[in-house]
Structure 1
Amino acid sequence: MTSESFLKLYEITKKLRGEDGCPWDKKQTPSTLRETFIEETFEVIDAITEGDPMHAREELGDAFFNIVLISYCYEQAGDFTISEVLDEISEKLVRRHPHVFGDVQADTAAKVIRQWDKIKEEVEGRKLDSVLDSVPNGFPPLLKAYKMLKKAAKSGFDWPSVELAESKVREELEEISGAIKENNQEHLEEEAGDMLLAAVNYCRKLGVDPNVALEKAAKKFSCRFRFVEKKMKEKGLAMEEKNDAEMLALWKEVKKL
């Protein structure tokens, strides 16, 4: 039973934080566990991306334990209990899904999102000065950019077509070329940032999550580079400019594989 499994984890967490518990677990605080939680979250994402259910199960367990551990730290401090955490999210889900738990009609994902935002603002009183205020400052830059662009688009600020989003990327590339000619590093950095933002927006218009796409690309690059690196070592050749032809040949070989 799910309830029994959760209770077992809760009791283990209490034991780890207890007087005779684990020295590492006992000294943790919500602040010290922030980095660990971020790491575990990314490991969950990796496992999902790999398409390995058993690995995903393991990593989800690690992330779930981090949530319970952080919540229990607050419980011990008398701030709130884990039961209150669970009750609050349950109430929020019911409140924000009146089309499921009530008699409101919302038969498309777009309508559900509009309804969700309306409930946040009109029922929960979460009025923002800007739609971008809901994007956490602590997000990594790529994720922050993607979320900001999604929020802006949802409010009506968006390119009307994929083609125009693509042309913006080309425009920003041209501006980078101009900054290179100026030999102005600060301007170059600014234009490079604009180009990356335009590329993120282009991905969004294509229906591609740039975070997922970049992660896949990085893994593909890592696999191919390691192959080239290994083969160059086997050949006794250094990874340097004079051996570019050999490295390129190996790169083409691993692409075929």
Structure 2
Amino acid sequence: MSNADRPAPGTPPDESRLTPQFRDLCAVVAKLRSPDGCPWDREQTLESIKPYTLEETYELLEAIDSGNDAEICEELGDVLLQVLLDSQIAADEGRFDLTDVVAGLTRKLIVRHPHVFGDSTAATPHDVSRQWDRIKQAEKQRESVFDGLPAALPALARAARVAEKAGRVGYDFPRREMLFAKLKEEVDELAAELFDDGQIPDVPAVVDGPVVHEPPIADPHRQARIQSELGDVLFVIANIARRWHINPEEALRESNRKFERRFQYIERRLREQGRDVRSASLPEMEVLYQEGKAIEKTEQASSRKSDEVE
């Protein structure tokens, strides 16, 4: 879409185009569920379709990360299909239909945005969040600020959301810099469980020999304490991300991708030499890793300069 064709922000879709397209899509989904439709679609239930909903959501996240509009558009369609299919399944079971879903969502958006559709005021995103939480708490008659958080959220993302909800009612460190003192405290407590003298050994992070494979911890009680302390460290890390307005789940996903790219560089370079990673020594792999890292940073710097010129 060119800038000339782009509508003003807040403009709804063209009804003359959207309505027939959406009607056709709903008809296709309904046909798939009909007696002469698709055997796979007919046998699905709200329970059986859950893994596909989760998978499509993650595929959408990957598409957004890629920045490829065609991929984002396609994956949004797949997520929309999950909504339509779930709604059609519920309608076939006599529970509710897509009209109920849409009407309920419309009401909720209006009620929870009184600063847009009513007489309330909310000058900042923080004001909006607090107001949203108050309205939601009243609607749901929830006893805890944590009620309603999906149990299936990835643990790191949930840690940030749990701390955020506590922070919204005032339970938070007054200054975000204090979290680093808390991180040191938690790391010290982890070290006390990991090492006999409670001190982290002063071992330089150099790659100069084979990997030492340590045996698992034999004492299950000690293992449980270590796991607990490590969890506390990760919880503080999630809080540091939150207070600096970084999504910890996204940050970790990016680090995962970064490591994978650089390790795949090692694999590629070794294949060019007619070798396999399993035959390479750790120092050899580390040299290639740093080589790939340097190339990547040079390319990123070049790309930034190109963007600045444009």
For Structure 1 versus Structure 2, the TM-score category normalised by the shorter chain is over 0.9
Residue in structure 1 matched with residue 84 of structure 2 by the alignment:
68
Mapping of residues 238-253 of structure 1, within 5 Å? 239=277, 243-253=281-291
Q: TM-score, structure 2 length as denominator?
A: 0.78
The CA deviation string for residues 67-97 of structure 1, in whole angstroms up to 9 with x for no partner, is 1001110011110111011011001111111
Where do residues 1-257 of structure 1 align in structure 2 (5 Å cutoff)? 1-122=17-138, 124=139, 126-182=140-196, 184-237=222-275, 239=277, 243-257=281-295
CA RMSD of aligned residues (A): 1.7
SS in 2 for 1:99: helix
Higher RCO, 1 vs 2 (CA within 8 Å, ≥6 residues apart): 2
Cα pair 1:237 1:243 within 8 Å, conserved: no
Bigger mean CA deviation after superposition, 238-247 or 156-165: 238-247
Count of paired positions: 255
- 1:139 is matched by which residue type in structure 2? L
Distance (Å, rounded) in 2 between the aligned partners of 1:197 and 1:48: 26
Indicate if the aligned counterparts of 2:267 and 2:276 stay in contact, CA closer than 8 A. no
Q: Secondary structure at the match of 1:133?
A: coil
Letter in 2 for 1:211: E
Separation in structure 1 between the aligned mates of residue 158 and residue 133 of structure 2, nearest angstrom: 19
Structure 1 residues 255, 153: CA separation in 2 closer, same or farther (over 3 Å shift)?
A: same
Matched-pair identity in %: 35
> How far 1:237 moved relative to its partner?
4.9
The runs of 4+ residues in structure 1 deviating greater than 6 Å are none
Alignment check: 8 A CA contact 1:165 1:205 kept: no
Structure number with greater Rg is: 2
Q: Distance in 1 between matches of 2:234 and 2:176?
A: 16
Contact kept in structure 1, 2:176 and 2:240, CA below 8 Å: yes
In the TM superposition, what whole-angstrom CA distance separates every residue of 1:30-79 from its partner, at most 9, and x where no partner exists?
A: 10000000000011111111222211100000010011001110011110
Whichever structure has more helix as a proportion of its residues is 1
Q: For 2:189 and 2:174, how far apart are their aligned partners in 1?
A: 23
The runs of 5 or more residues in structure 1 that have no matched partner are none
